[in-house]
């Protein structure tokens, strides 16, 4: 009789426990996959979509013509078809080098800059303010909008031509409206060289390797020591504080002047100038260092800084709408350093925009209207989305009396003093020259500055600032009157004619 094989007994409870564990493990795997998928789709996917190196973004941006940047009713940008490419259009520029400091560039290969970057969504049709920014049925974007600038082409060209081969920058502002009429930085570059993805790399390497830094916007983003042009701020502080009641009151100013706590004697450029105890008018006329260095010590750094900040110094949020680098009045100084700030040296820095703002406020009765270089932005049909002229704020920087006195003193500078190269027949012109030290112990070529205002017979007004960093002039010939004032004169004449 055969044997019966034994059948192993499995406890139902143990089996159920194993199944449950396996089920829980499987569910955890499913949940992990779902969480990962969600992360990829909603977070990493968004990051990839926003990545500037994601070609899909460039394809979408250049799927159609871009909107334009407008100067005096004329587009200075355009779009051209690019056959045999998934990037169907590329940006084009008219007078690209002339307007580069205004437009910046829009590139198939690099992130856009200046107005091209700030208004990228408006110009490519994805700005939500545009009507039906994206058609939900077809997925097509709206017609792109346009950016209307405040730039005056005559003033822009006058500045660009007058700067010529010099390394420098210039800004012009309408003091009554705050509209920026010109923004020029030289040497410039042609934005068209960066628009095509196939050729942009070569141009980029050449531009970034250039020691003269043509991609730098010197007008807005390169603060430098302003030299004697800063004496206008010091004089304003002295009058506002009551240290002196008038620009024609004699000051308490030894000549020569020894910096406090040192044996260093501060000299004047013209040793024979009548700078001892000179009035503010005469001190501006001859650019007397002793007067303003001592005045800075008398006022103290806190009062000087307060006045400088009213004019716009130390403002890290200055947008025009391009973010301008802050101009700086330093802090934590001893008296000798404070004295040097009185002549625009030590660690005082300013952009041409900032020094144009100083002249603009004085020209406008002490009122500073927020400078801006975009007047309006419009949709594809020309309807105004934002009017920046209406939104410009006004700040009373100094009293109208202080402004009037300094305008009078600035006129003396141009008529009889160090700024005679800025004279314009038939116009009222006031200005201030500046020559700022450059390099350790002033070992490099000094910076030449000029800031001024002008009013023409027809009532047109303008305020300008010019800095020349480098030119072909011999060191002995470098001066605000010799290099910068002629540029300012050309700009003012174009603005008021």
Active site residues: 228
CA distance 327 to 332: 17
Please tell me the total number of residues recorded for the chain in this structure: 497
Q: Answer whether 294's CB lies under 8 Å from 257's CB.
A: yes
State the CB neighbour count (10 A cutoff) for residue 55.
12
CA distance 13 to 161: 94
Q: Of 287, 302, 284, whose CA–CA distance to 244 is shortest?
A: 284
Question: What are the distances in angstroms from CA 84 to CA 65, 201, 299?
Answer: 16, 19, 68
CA distance 238 to 279: 12
CA distance 426 to 193: 43
Query: What is the spatial order of strands in the sheet that 384-387 belongs to?
Result: 74-75, 69-71, 146-149, 374-378, 384-387
CA distance 284 to 66: 50
CA distance 307 to 235: 10
Inter-residue long-range contacts of 300-307, CB under 8 Å, 24+ positions, other chains counted: 300/338, 301/329, 301/330, 301/331, 301/333, 301/338, 301/341, 303/237, 303/241, 304/233, 304/234, 304/237, 304/329, 304/338, 304/341, 304/342, 305/329, 305/331, 306/237, 307/233, 307/236, 307/237, 307/240, 307/398
């Amino acid at each position: 009789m055969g044997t019966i094989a034994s059948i192993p007994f499995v406890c139902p409870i143990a089996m159920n426990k194993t199944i449950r564990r396996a089920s829980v493990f499987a569910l955890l795997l499913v949940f992990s996959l779902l969480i990962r998928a969600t992360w990829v789709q909603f977070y990493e996917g968004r990051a990839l979509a926003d990545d500037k190196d994601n070609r899909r973004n460039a394809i979408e941006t250049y799927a159609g013509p871009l909107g334009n940047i407008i100067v005096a009713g004329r587009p200075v940008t355009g779009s051209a078809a690019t056959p045999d490419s998934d990037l169907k259009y590329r940006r084009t520029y008219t007078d690209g080098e002339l307007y580069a400091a205004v437009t910046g560039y829009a590139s198939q290969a690099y992130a856009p800059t200046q107005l091209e970057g700030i208004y990228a969504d408006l110009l490519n049709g994805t700005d939500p303010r545009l009507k039906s920014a994206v058609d939900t049925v077809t997925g097509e974007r709206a017609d792109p909008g346009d950016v209307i600038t405040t730039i005056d082409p005559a003033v822009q060209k006058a500045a660009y031509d007058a700067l010529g081969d010099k390394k420098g920058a210039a800004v012009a502002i309408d003091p009554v409206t705050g509209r920026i009429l010109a923004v020029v930085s030289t040497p410039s570059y042609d934005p068209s060289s960066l628009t095509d993805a196939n050729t942009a790399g070569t141009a980029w390497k050449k531009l970034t390797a250039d020691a003269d830094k043509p991609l730098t916007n010197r007008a807005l983003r390169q603060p430098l020591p302003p030299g004697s042009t800063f004496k206008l701020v010091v004089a304003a502080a002295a009058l506002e504080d009551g240290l002196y009641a008038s620009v024609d009151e004699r000051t308490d100013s030894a000549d020569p002047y020894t910096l406090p706590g040192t044996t260093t004697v501060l000299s004047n450029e013209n040793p024979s100038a009548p700078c001892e105890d000179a009035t503010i008018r005469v001190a501006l006329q001859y650019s007397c260092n002793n007067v303003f260095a001592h005045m800075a010590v008398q006022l103290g750094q806190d009062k000087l800084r307060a006045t400088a900040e009213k004019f716009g110094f130390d403002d890290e949020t200055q947008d025009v709408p391009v973010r301008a680098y802050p101009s700086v009045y330093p802090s934590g100084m001893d008296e000798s350093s404070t004295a040097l700030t009185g002549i625009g040296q030590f660690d005082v820095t300013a952009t041409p925009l900032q020094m144009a703002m100083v002249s603009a406020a004085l020209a406008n009765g002490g009122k500073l209207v927020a400078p801006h270089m975009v007047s309006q932005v419009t949709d594809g049909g020309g309807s105004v989305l934002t009017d920046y002229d209406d939104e410009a704020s006004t700040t009373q920087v100094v009293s109208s009396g202080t402004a009037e006195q300094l305008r009078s003193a600035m006129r003396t500078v141009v008529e009889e003093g160090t700024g005679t190269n800025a004279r314009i027949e038939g116009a009222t012109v006031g200005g201030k020259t500046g020559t700022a030290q450059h390099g350790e112990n002033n070992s490099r070529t000094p910076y030449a500055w000029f800031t001024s205002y002008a009013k023409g017979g027809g009532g047109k007004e303008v305020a300008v600032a010019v800095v020349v960093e480098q030119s072909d002039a011999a060191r002995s010939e470098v001066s605000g009157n010799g290099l910068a004032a002629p540029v300012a004169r050309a700009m003012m004449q174009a603005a008021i004619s």
